[in-house]
């Protein structure tokens, strides 16, 4: 992994075998970023895609493996009042299954790079977005204080 900051934006290259979400959160910790949004593309080898099931308050997880084109990655990183980091990430991935092109996407738990991924990380400027736990859904939402 390597990254640079130009003006208020971080440009991140995530390398082979590195997990993208952990890399983004590690950079946020290192740089003192407490809330940000990000987007990216890349060539990946594994992704854990989750679907939230409201009736049970749980996520179902599907793992994709192989040559995965990460055609769209969008998400955010926020912290709670204790400084713990959370992400909310969605992605679309394409891949071949025999002779057919397939698309899969949804909430991303993790995604691991095969060749490279290119991520743009944009910290919130002039304020902060925190995480507020919602007991009704069992998940967290943005809190603007």
The pTM score is: 0.93
pLDDT 10s digits, 14-61: 999 999 999 999 999 999 999 999 999 999 999 999 998 888 878 899
| The pair of three-digit structure tokens given for residue 120, joined into one six-digit string | 């743009």
Q: Which of 22, 37, 19 is nearest to 77 (CA)?
A: 37
Structural domain boundaries in the chain: 2-143
Examine the pLDDT at 5 and tell me if it is beyond 80.
Answer: yes
Q: Which of 63, 76, 86, 72 is nearest to 121 (CA)?
A: 76
114 vs 132, higher pLDDT: 114
Question: For residue 126, what is the DSSP state?
Answer: S
What does R_g of the chain's alpha carbons equal in angstroms? 16
| The pair of three-digit structure tokens given for residue 127, joined into one six-digit string | 């304020």
Examine the pLDDT at 138 and tell me if it is beyond 80.
Answer: no
Cα dihedral value 143, 27, 52, 96, nearest 10: 150
Q: Could you please state the CATH topology (level 3) that the domain comprising 2-143 is classified under.
A: 60s Ribosomal Protein L30; Chain: A; (3.30.1330)
């Amino acid at each position: 992994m390597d990254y640079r900051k130009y003006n208020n934006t971080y440009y991140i290259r995530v390398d082979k075998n590195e997990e993208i979400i952990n890399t983004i959160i590690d950079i946020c910790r290192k740089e003192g970023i407490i809330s940000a949004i990000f987007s990216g593309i890349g060539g990946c080898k594994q992704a854990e895609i989750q679907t939230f099931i409201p009736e049970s308050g749980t996520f179902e997880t599907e793992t994709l493996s192989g040559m995965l084109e990460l055609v769209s990655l969008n998400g955010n990183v926020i912290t709670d009042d204790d400084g713990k980091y959370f992400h909310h990430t969605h992605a679309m991935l394409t891949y071949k299954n025999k002779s057919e092109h397939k698309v899969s996407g949804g909430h991303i738990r993790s995604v691991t790079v095969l060749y490279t991924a290119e991520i743009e990380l944009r910290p919130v400027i002039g304020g902060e977005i925190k995480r507020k736990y919602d007991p009704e859904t069992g998940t967290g939402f943005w809190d603007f204080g």
